[in-house]
């Protein structure tokens, strides 16, 4: 599917610092996200994990007054480099949101096709890619007979898989997921987790979750964020980054241990 070399799918964060106006939201983050693996970001609420995730495809700057310092490399290219437009970044780094958000006025087919339509692909390529993406999102068998129906007719879990299909229809390098299962029941959650393990063969996956078991189940690497207070103001900080099983069995940082064992957060 992807023709890129595996190195081009690596994401490197260098002194990445998101701001809301004058307020710094997170301490500078330095971390390498390994290509074609699942990296989980966990931490208590308010620690800035979603903010960091949204910086990775330049969705952070959509919020009024929000800005970013530092660099994020996709492969060896800085997505915040001069001359790089957010639209170009977002088509290479797909995103799935907390709340399933199929476009309300579009059919299931058009929801998946929308990115391709914008880019002016030919009809036969779109047909092919939509089917491919729906199959990859393990949704094809459930919706193939009602492609013209509204996406809202689907269940929450199906809607979320539809959103995953929409994100991978553009064949991005990286897939970002912002607490994709927080609005879903356990069965749907399980299906999505299975799907993600499947998808990591082709995509670099970064998933924010507040559910530690979920991270333990699917993630190869885990980043732990915590909230610190400097001068009375909360600020997120990356406290530990390691293989998932190490994080959960032998955390190096005492704060991680407290969080994992449920003493904080």
Partner 1 sequence: MITQATNYRRRKLVDYGMRGLTIGATVLALIPLVLILSYVVFRGAGALNIAFFTQAYEPPVVGLDGEVGNAGGVLHGIIGSLIIVGIALIMALPIGILAGVFLAEYPSNSVATVVRFCTDVLSAAPSIVIGVAAYVLIVQRTHQFSALAGSVALAVLMVPVITRTTEEILKLVPHTMREAAMALGAPKWWQTLTVVLPTAMSGIMTGVLLAFARATGETAPLLLTVLGNNNVSVKLLEPMAALPLLTYKYTDTPFPAQNTLAWGTALVLTLLVLTVNLSVRWATRSRTK
Partner 2 sequence: MAQAERLSTWQTFQQRTKHGDVIFWLLTLFFALMVVALVAAVGYVAWVGSSEARGRFGLSFLFKTGWDPNAQNFGALPAIYGTLVSSGIALLIAGPLGILIGVFLSELCPQRFKSPLSFMVELLAAIPSVIYGMWGVFVFVPFFRSWVAAPIAKSVGKSFPLLAGPVAAGRGLMVAGIILAIMILPTIAAITRDVLAVVPNHQREAMLAVGATRWEMIRKAVLPYARAGIIGGLMLGLGRALGETMAALMVIGSVKDKISTSLFGGGITAASLVASELPNANDSMHESTLILIALVLFGITLCVNAFARLLVWQAARGPVGSARS
Nearer to partner 1, 92 or 255 (CB): 92
CB-CB contact of 57 with 95 (8 Å)? yes
- Which of 36, 60, 90, 200 contacts partner 2 by CB under 8 A? 90
- Measured torsion, CA atoms of residues 197, 99, 21, 23, in degrees rounded to the nearest 10: -60
Q: 187-208 burial string, b = 16+ CB within 10 Å, else e?
A: ebbebbbebbeebbebbbbbbb
Decide: is 250 part of the binding site for partner 2 (CB under 8 A). Answer: no
Report the distance separating Cα 15 and Cα 29, nearest Å: 5
- Residues interacting with partner 1, by CB under 8 A? 4, 8, 74-75, 77, 79, 84-85, 87-89, 91-92, 118-120
Residue 79, binding choice from partner 1, partner 2, none, Cβ under 5 to 8 Å by partner class: partner 1
What part of residues 142-171 is at the interface with partner 2 (CB under 8 A)?
163, 166-167, 169-170
Report the distance separating Cα 217 and Cα 203, nearest Å: 18
CB-CB contact of 74 with 93 (8 Å)? yes
Nearer to partner 1, 72 or 237 (CB): 72
The residues that touch partner 2, with contacts defined as CB under 8 A, are 57, 59, 62, 64, 87-88, 90-91, 94-95, 97, 99, 101-106, 114-115, 118-119, 163, 166-167, 169-170
């Amino acid at each position: 599917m992807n023709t890129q070399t595996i190195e081009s799918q690596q994401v490197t964060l260098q002194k990445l610092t998101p701001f809301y106006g004058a307020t710094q939201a997170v301490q500078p983050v330095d971390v390498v996200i390994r290509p074609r693996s699942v990296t989980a970001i966990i931490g208590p609420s308010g620690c800035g994990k979603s903010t960091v995730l949204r910086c990775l495809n330049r969705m952070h700057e959509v919020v009024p007054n929000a800005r970013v310092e530092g660099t994020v490399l996709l492969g060896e290219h800085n997505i915040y480099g001069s001359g790089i437009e957010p639209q170009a970044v977002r088509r290479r780094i797909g995103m799935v949101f907390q709340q399933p958000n199929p476009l309300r006025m579009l059919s299931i087919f058009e929801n998946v096709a929308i990115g391709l339509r914008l880019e002016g692909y030919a009809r036969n390529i779109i047909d092919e890619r939509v089917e491919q993406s729906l199959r990859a999102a393990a949704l094809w068998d459930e919706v193939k007979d009602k492609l013209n129906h509204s996406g809202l007719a689907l269940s929450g879990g199906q809607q979320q898989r539809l959103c995953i299909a929409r994100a991978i229809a553009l064949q991005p390098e990286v897939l970002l997921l912002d607490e994709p299962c927080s609005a879903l029941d356990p069965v749907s959650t399980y299906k999505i987790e299975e799907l993600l393990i499947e998808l990591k063969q082709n995509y670099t996956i970064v998933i924010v979750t507040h559910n530690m078991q979920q991270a333990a189940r699917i993630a190869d690497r885990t980043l732990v964020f915590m909230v610190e207070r400097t001068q009375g103001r909360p600020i997120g900080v990356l406290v530990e980054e390691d293989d998932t099983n190490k994080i959960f069995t032998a955390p190096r940082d005492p704060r991680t241990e407290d969080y994992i064992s449920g003493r904080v957060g």
